Amino acid sequence: MEALPYIKRYYGRTVVVKYGGAAMEDPALAESFANDIVLMRYVGMNPVVVHGGGPQVTAHIEKLGGKATFVDGYRVTTAADLEVVRMVLAGVINKDIVALINRHGSLAAGLSGEDGALVRVRKKIGSTDLGFVGDVEQVNPRIVTDLLRDFIPVIATLGVDENGQAYNVNADEVAAAIAEALGAEKLVFLTNVNGIMDGSGSLLTQVSADGVERLRSDGVLTAGMLPKVDAALRAIKGGVPRVTILDGRAEHALLLEIFTDQGVGTMVTA
C-alpha cells in the first residue's frame, strides 16, 4: 500500500535511469537492476535505460596494448580508441543489458545515440584536444518514443555530428539530455556513493537546485560528483521535475527510491 501512490504518480510516465558504477560491474547487482526495470514496466511506467561503461572500455583498450588517458574527467579518445568505445558500449555492454532484461520476456531493445541521429553532438572544445569527444547539441527522441510503445529502450551513450562522425559522449550528460527531450517525470543516476553530502558529511535526502548551486560554489561537492550534479541541474532546468542521485550498490535501490516514502539517495527538485 505504501507503493500505491507512487505507482499512480508514475503510471504511464517516463523514468530515465542512468546505469553505471558498481551496479553494472557486479553480476548480482546487474540482475537486481534488470529485475527492477522489468517491474517498473509491468506496473505501467516507461523506463528508459541510458548506460556508459568507462571501466570496461579502459580494460579493452589496455588489453589491446593501448593506454587510457583522462583530462578533467574526460577520456582522450583517439580514432583507434573510438572504435573500441563503439564496440564495447554498443556491441557488448548494451547487448548484455538487453539480454538480462529479456530473460523476463521480449521487453528490451538496444540502440545507441548514433541510431536515428538520436544524440546530435559537436566536438568538445577546450584547452586540451580530447579527440573524438562530443558535447550534446540536441536530442531527437522520435526513435525512443517509437520504441517505448512496445519495448524498454536501452541506450549506449555515443553521439554523431552533422557529418555522420561518431563521438564518445559523457553518459551523465546524455542521460540528462534524453530525460529533457522525453519530458521525463524523473531522472535517476545510479552511482557508487550514497548521494549528495552537506558540509558536515551528512546525506541530504532532498535539496533544491538552488541548494545544489550553493554547495558547488562553497566547494562542498567532490570532483566525482560534479558531472552528475551538472547533469542533474541541466535536467531540472529543462523541465524534469525530479532528479535522484543514489547508491547503486544497494540491492533494489531503484525500487526503494521510487516506491517507498523514505526513498534512498538524494532527490534534487526545482
The rounded percent of the chain whose pLDDT value lies above 70 is: 100
How confident is the model at residue 42, as a pLDDT? 96
Structural domain boundaries of the chain?
4-193
When comparing pLDDT for 184 and 248, which is higher? 184
Contacts 24+ apart (CB under 8 A), 194-203: 194/246, 194/247, 194/265, 195/245, 195/246, 195/247, 195/264, 195/265, 195/266, 196/221, 196/225, 196/229, 196/245, 196/266, 196/268, 203/266
How confident is the model at residue 134, as a pLDDT? 95
State if pTM tops 0.75: yes
Most confident of 50-64, 150-164, 196-210: 150-164
Please name the residue that has the C-alpha cell 504511464: 12
Weakest mean pLDDT among 63-72, 141-150, 199-208: 63-72
Residue 11 has pLDDT above 90, yes or no: yes
Residue 223 has pLDDT above 80, yes or no: no
Sign of CA dihedral 168, 18, 237, 41: positive
Residue 186 has pLDDT above 80, yes or no: yes
Per-residue confidence at 262, pLDDT binned at 50, 70, 90?
confident
189-200: b (≥16 Cβ within 10 Å) or e: bbbebbbbbeee
Give 134-168 pLDDT, tens digit per residue.
999 999 999 999 999 999 999 999 999 999 999 99
How confident is the model at residue 238, as a pLDDT? 94
Give 81-125 pLDDT, tens digit per residue.
999 999 999 999 999 999 999 999 999 999 999 999 999 999 999
* Helix 94-101 / helix 27-42 crossing angle, nearest 10 deg: 60
How confident is the model at residue 35, as a pLDDT? 95
What gap in Å lies between CA 226 and CA 230, rounded to an integer? Answer: 6
The rounded percent of the chain whose pLDDT value lies above 90 is: 76
What gap in Å lies between CA 150 and CA 20, rounded to an integer? Answer: 24
Question: Mean pLDDT in the chain?
Answer: 92
Residue 190 has pLDDT above 80, yes or no: yes
When comparing pLDDT for 21 and 131, which is higher? 131
Residue 261 has pLDDT above 90, yes or no: no
CATH of domain 4-193: 3.40.1160.10
How confident is the model at residue 108, as a pLDDT? 98
Per-residue confidence at 169, pLDDT binned at 50, 70, 90?
very high
How confident is the model at residue 126, as a pLDDT? 81
How confident is the model at residue 20, as a pLDDT? 85
Residue 13 has pLDDT above 80, yes or no: yes
